[in-house]
Amino acid sequence: MSKSSTMVALVLAAGKGTRMKSDLPKVLHPVGGRPMVSHVLQSARAAGADRAIVVIGFEADSVRETLKDSVEYVVQTEQLGTGHAVIQARESLQDFDGTIMVLCGDTPLLTGATLINLAQEHLRMSAAATVLTANLSDPAGYGRVIRDAAGQVQKIVEQKDASSEELAVCEINTGIYCFSCKELFGALAAIGRDNAQGEYYLTDVLEELNRRGKIVRAVVAADFSETMGINSRVQLAEAEIILRDRKRTALMESGVTLLDPASIFVDADVEIGRDTVIYPFTWIEGDTHIGGNCRIGPNTRIQNSMIKDRVTLHFSYAHDCEIGAGASVGPYVHIRPDTVLGPETKVGNFVEIKNSTVGLGSKVPHLSYIGDTDMGAGVNIGSGTITVNYDGKAKHRTIIEDNVFVGCNTNLVAPVRVGEGAYIAAGSTITKDVPPKALGVARARQQNIERWTEKRGK
């Protein structure tokens, strides 16, 4: 990570989140298709933080495994409050002399625009600290922001420590701050934990900075819902609704038609081209890119896939695959990982394809399983065709060259190659290579036993 950063995001993510009733760290619970802490980090980067430090504790290895080397880590082995969490980053920031943006890892609704506003106000006022606040008609449960007549923040009082007069204040602390790094750690060294929780409150830093005559400001969030911390499954569901609404609105504003937005679920990282139409009851998830002028759905699920322009994909499940321009897929198709369907291909009616390539204009119209296969261009696969790829110990590949015609109810027992322009007779079980332009026939000779039913009856 660069040591020349002017703003560092310090994300507090060490807590267990007991109200989630989960073995998974709270900040890793997915919302809008990403772990909630990933949303926070993305917003911080949008605000100009080119370096991020995440404070981890509960299930620290799980957080590391998820975020990998995209961030730096410090460990809070004992949770003694927000101030204590920030202190863990002191050594990592000993050579830093810019702005520290302190964020909570459980606020996935926070936008980059709000953080930009916070950071700009902090710099404009040359403040030692700037806190993001919100005004609530019912502030119960939140720390109250106490200002003087000039608007300077005097202190933040936690609900359990507030007087009756302070409890009447409706401006609350969101737990999101910008600090001068030097001023932050200087003030942290002076605070204790003589409070109802017995913890080191980061909020006490503001009061300490005031005692030192420093500037402490506040910025009111335009939309309180952005700052909402997720502490339960109910709140997780509420955040999911908000994020999905944002995504659907963004897609429609970019030229995508959603025929019934409420029944269409699109993850945050999905990209969809203009003039594509998404039909009801469709899920588009993960790292999925869909081109323009496509028709997707209804009743379709796509995960981590590349869908090129002009694709029709309906009543199907496609994941970790690529579908070429002009392809038609469905209904009732399963496209499995490592499959590449070429341009203008057709796959439909109860077909499963796995770890295979299907060349330009080839067709697998119905009732087939194609596994571990390399298929050329212009191939026609008859109904009921199976590429038999597993011998009980290992998987083997089938190679079907260009312009092959495979008759109905055929088994191609891999490893096997069917040469260019060859034909396979219906009902064949092919166990040997078929030369180019040959006819492959492999079926038992028909035998009719006369009057068999009469004899059986007797």
How many CA atoms does the CB half-sphere of 437 hold within 13 Å?
0
- d(CA 73, CA 93) in angstroms, rounded, equals 12
* Catalytic residue (one of 29, 334, 366, 396): 366
Dihedral of CA atoms 357, 362, 367, 368 in degrees, nearest 10, equals -30
On whether the CB atoms of residues 103 and 110 are closer than 8 A, the answer is yes
248 Cα distance to chain centroid: 15
Taking residue 198's Cβ as centre, other Cβ atoms within 10 Å add up to 9
With a CB cutoff of 8 Å and minimum separation 6, the contacts of 227 are 107, 109, 110, 132, 134, 174, 175, 176, 221
With a CB cutoff of 8 Å and minimum separation 6, the contacts of 447 are none
* Cis omega (within 30 of 0) for bond into 365: no
Q: What are the CA-CA distances from residue 121 to residues 91, 153, 178, 181, 198 (Å)? A: 27, 14, 10, 16, 32
**One-letter identity of residue 223:** D
Question: Residue 11: phi, psi to the nearest 5?
Answer: -105, 120
The question of whether 122 is a catalytic residue gets the answer: no
Taking residue 150's Cβ as centre, other Cβ atoms within 10 Å add up to 5
- d(CA 177, CA 108) in angstroms, rounded, equals 16
Active-site amino acid positions: 366
